[in-house]
Each structure stands twice: as C-alpha cells, then as structure tokens.
C-alpha cells in the first residue's frame, strides 16, 4: 500500500498533486468549521430552549443568558423593532460558517475535475511520446480519477455539514421567534 502511494506520487502530474493537497486543506477547514459551529450552536440552542421554557412557565422576561436579553436590557421598553433587531442579529450570528461550507460543496467537485483533466492530458502526452498501449491509458486514467473522487468526497461532507448547520440555525431562530412572540404577548 505504501509503495502504491509513492508510485502514485511519482507518476502523477504536479497539478494533480496540488489539487489533492488543496482538497485536503479544504477537508481540514470544513471539518473545523463544522465541529466548532455545531457545538457552539448546540450550546446556544440549549440556552435558548431553557429560556423559552421558563417564559412558557410564566417568567416575565427571557433568561439572562438568552441572546435577546442583550437587546432587551439596552432599552427601557420592549418594542417589536428591538426584538426584530435581535432576531436579525441572531440570524447573522447563527449562520456564520454556512457560506464557506456552501462554497466548498459547490467548488470541490470542479477542483477535483480540474486535477483529473490535467492528469488525463498528461497521460495522452505520454502516449504520444511512447508506444504505450491500453495499459498505459488505463493506468493514467485510473490515477487521474483519484482527483475527481477526492473532490466529490470533500463535497459530500461539505454539503452534509452545511445542511446540518442550516437546520440547527433554523431551530435556533425558531426558539428566538417564539420567545419574542411570548414577550410581545405578555406586553399586550
């Protein structure tokens, strides 16, 4: 197996190797973004869930840890505009990291395909210079497709992570909207 990796490294075009390195960096970054945002959103959801529960049980306002509390304590009266501003700020904060996951999900297959095309062009160049047969073509195309597979692999994780975080953000905003509605109903 180790010899296969070294053989792949020696035979592959430098652009293909660069594409694989770039995709590896993308994969590391997207995992870091996902896990960081996932755990922070889970903590935030737990906080807002407790705040909503206390409001529904009769509390007069959101808990001190709630995101909306920052907006409510900055004003003397509760207004729909202040709560709307809090919801907008929460939406912005909760969706951080989604754009990079979306970009990775949409671009990594193309990056992998670029590496494949360059590698296949390199294979055809070698065929023209030597009297290689089908075995040379098959080996070159096989090595070239590794870049496409790597691009699709990274894209699958990026898209999946994007959808998971998007759903967590939606849940969070729903909790905040319910708290906002409960506060406004108590005011009326």
No. of H helices and E strands in the chain? 6, 0
Residue 28 is assigned to a structural domain of this protein:
yes
Task: Give the Å distances, CA to CA, from 178 to 36, 61, 72.
Answer: 26, 12, 15
Residue 104: the pLDDT is 96
Q: Model confidence at 168, in pLDDT bands (50, 70, 90)?
A: very high
Residue 49 is assigned to a structural domain of this protein:
yes
Residue 136: the pLDDT is 67
Q: Which pLDDT tens digit goes with each residue over 29-66?
A: 999 999 999 999 999 999 999 999 998 898 888 888 99
Write down the mean pLDDT value for the chain. Answer: 88
Token digits of residue 138:
């098959």
In whole angstroms, give the CA distance from residue 108 to residue 137.
Answer: 25
Residue 188 is assigned to a structural domain of this protein:
no
Which of the two residues, 180 and 79, has the higher pLDDT score? Answer: 180
Residue 71 is assigned to a structural domain of this protein:
yes
Residue 140 is assigned to a structural domain of this protein:
yes
In whole angstroms, give the CA distance from residue 100 to residue 105.
Answer: 8
Which of the two residues, 23 and 4, has the higher pLDDT score? Answer: 23
Q: Model confidence at 162, in pLDDT bands (50, 70, 90)?
A: very high
Token digits of residue 171:
């849940």
- Domain enclosing residue 95, as ranges: 2-183
Number of folded domains in the chain? 1
Which of the two residues, 17 and 108, has the higher pLDDT score? Answer: 108
Q: Which pLDDT tens digit goes with each residue over 119-149?
A: 888 877 777 677 666 766 777 777 788 899 9
Least confidently predicted of 4-13, 107-116, 151-160: 4-13
Token digits of residue 158:
């990026």
Residue 48 is assigned to a structural domain of this protein:
yes
Contacts of 153 (CB under 8 A, 6+ apart): 23, 27
Residue 167 is assigned to a structural domain of this protein:
yes
């Amino acid at each position: 197996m180790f010899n296969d990796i070294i053989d792949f490294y020696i035979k592959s075009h430098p652009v293909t190797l660069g594409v694989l390195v770039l995709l590896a960096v993308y994969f590391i970054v997207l995992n870091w973004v996902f896990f960081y945002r996932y755990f922070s959103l889970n903590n935030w959801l737990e906080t807002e869930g407790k705040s909503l529960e206390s409001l529904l049980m009769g509390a007069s306002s959101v808990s001190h840890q709630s995101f909306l509390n920052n907006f409510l304590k900055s004003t003397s009266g509760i207004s729909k505009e202040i709560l709307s501003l809090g919801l907008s700020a929460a939406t912005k904060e909760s969706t951080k990291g989604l754009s990079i996951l979306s970009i990775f999900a949409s671009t990594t297959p193309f990056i992998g395909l670029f590496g494949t095309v360059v590698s296949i062009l390199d294979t055809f160049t070698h065929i023209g210079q030597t009297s290689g047969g089908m075995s040379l073509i098959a080996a070159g195309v096989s090595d070239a497709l590794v870049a496409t597979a790597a691009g699709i692999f990274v894209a699958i994780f990026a898209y999946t992570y994007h959808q998971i975080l998007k759903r967590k953000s939606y849940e969070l905003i729903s909790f905040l909207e319910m708290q906002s509605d409960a506060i406004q109903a108590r005011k009326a």
